[in-house]
Amino acid sequence: MSAIAAIAVVSWNTRDLLERCLRSLTPETDAGVLEVWVVDNASTDGSADLVRNEFPWVNLVASDENLGFGRAVNLVASRTATPWLGIANADIRLHAGAIRELLAAAERDPGAGALAPRLVLPDGTTQHSVFAFPSPRVALAVAAGAARRPRVGDRLLLPGAWDATRERRVPWAVAAFLLVRREAWEAAGGFDEDQWMYAEDLDLGWRLARAGYPTRYVPGAVADHEHEASTSQAWGGERALRWQRNSYAWMLRRRGWVLTRTIAGIEFANATVRWAGAAALARIRSGSWPRRRDRWRWWMRMHRTGLERASALRERR
């Protein structure tokens, strides 16, 4: 039996999580459904040796440099020819039957180019992993409090408002784990290797959609996700800021200066107004207001990055 999907697991200094990931892929590999590849990005924690010694059936690429996420997956794509390509972080653990659920969803929706499972965080909550593409409409909806209106918030996939139990097509999904149809992957051109870290999944989802291959969210397929296990080692508390700045850099490159500045301006103005209100109330009240003030100050800092000079943003890939 020929494998249906080649899974590209990208690893960087997460040895124990990599072991957990590969063990979760073992049953489907033994059944001939998957072939598994690990691209280890020059880890120093023995990750490559783990694969060699404990998982001899895995195709290992032990890179002597950090290729980044997209370039590592592209390498596996270029060496395989299965009908489906799986994209996986090493901090993912698939639940039993997840691959079957994703492939069953593909039969229900043969036009879907990518399939995304429900991601479960260590505390048992569902990670917000599907999003609308950035737009002034979405930014204005957030500023107007659309998340408090369940139907609107769910339609726009806003954090705190979306229905994580409903299967549907979505604009794009976090690439902690994705199953991508090979023809869709080739039509989109794979990952853009210039998008070295962060926003590469946003970019892939954007190009898949433009090529006519939507993404489908499949909550019946479940994967545990030890969120940001690698990036927290690299950037610590600054990782969210880095993600936002790189997302604005992506907008500038793909959507243009006017749209990028418009979205950043709406988001920054909203955060500033809310910070000012929370700061005023924090002077006269205790409780949650000081935390709200600090949270909105952080959001101001995040979205100020979208108002940086175009030349500075272009360097963020």
263-291 pLDDT tens trace: 999 999 999 999 999 999 998 887 888 99
Q: Which residue has the higher pLDDT, 241 or 8?
A: 8
Question: Confidence band (pLDDT; 50, 70, 90) for 228?
Answer: low
Place 87 in a pLDDT band, splitting at 50, 70 and 90. Answer: very high
pLDDT at 222: 98
pLDDT at 148 over 50: yes
Give the Cα separation of 88 and 73 in Å (integer).
Answer: 9
Between CA 109 and CA 101 the distance in angstroms is: 12
State the span(s) of the chain assigned CATH 3.90.550.10. Answer: 5-128+164-229
Residue 4: band (very low, low, confident or very high) from pLDDT cuts 50, 70, 90: very high
The pLDDT score that the predictor gives to residue 235 is 38
Map tokens 């006519």 to a residue.
Answer: 212
51, two tokens? 């694969």
Mean per-residue pLDDT, 168-192: 97
Considering only 79-83, 89-93, 232-236, which range has the smallest mean pLDDT?
232-236
Residue 103's pLDDT band (cuts 50, 70, 90): very high
Using an 8 Å Cβ cutoff, are 251 and 138 in contact?
A: no
Q: How wide is the angle at C-alpha 78 spanned by C-alphas 75 and 83, nearest 5°? A: 120
Strand, coil or helix: 167:
coil
**Alpha-carbon gap, residue 147 to 128, rounded angstroms:** 13
pLDDT for the residue 2: 86
Q: How confident is the model at residue 231 (pLDDT cuts 50, 70, 90)?
A: very low
Please give the helix or strand (H or E) that residue 280 lies within, else none.
helix 257-284
Counted residue by residue, the chain has a size of: 317
Contact between 105 and 167 (Cβ < 8 Å)? yes
Residue-averaged pLDDT of the chain: 92
Is residue 236's pLDDT more than 50?
Answer: no
> What is the identity of the amino acid at 98?
A
Q: Which of 126-140, 147-161, 301-315 has the highest mean pLDDT?
A: 126-140
Tell whether the torsion through CA atoms of 143, 147, 152 and 157 is positive or negative: positive
Q: Is the pLDDT of residue 237 over 80?
A: no
Of 15-19, 103-107, 227-231, 232-236, the least confident: 232-236
> Which pair of tokens denotes residue 12?
């960087």
Q: Is the pLDDT of residue 208 over 80?
A: yes
- The yes-or-no verdict on residue 94 having pLDDT over 70 is yes
Lowest average pLDDT, out of 12-16, 128-132, 162-166, 193-197, goes to 193-197
Average pLDDT over every residue of 185-191 = 97
Question: Quick one: average pLDDT of 108-132?
Answer: 97
Q: Is the pLDDT of residue 234 over 90?
A: no
Select from 3.30.70.250, 1.10.10.10, 3.40.190.10, 3.90.550.10 the CATH code of 5-128+164-229. Answer: 3.90.550.10
Query: What pLDDT score does 196 carry?
Result: 66
Residue 316, sorted as left (phi over 0), alpha (psi -120 to 50) or beta, turns out to be: beta
Question: Is the separation of the CB atoms in 217 and 170 below 8 Å?
Answer: yes
Kindly report the pTM of this predicted structure. Answer: 0.92
For residues 72 and 285, which has the higher predicted lDDT (pLDDT)? 72
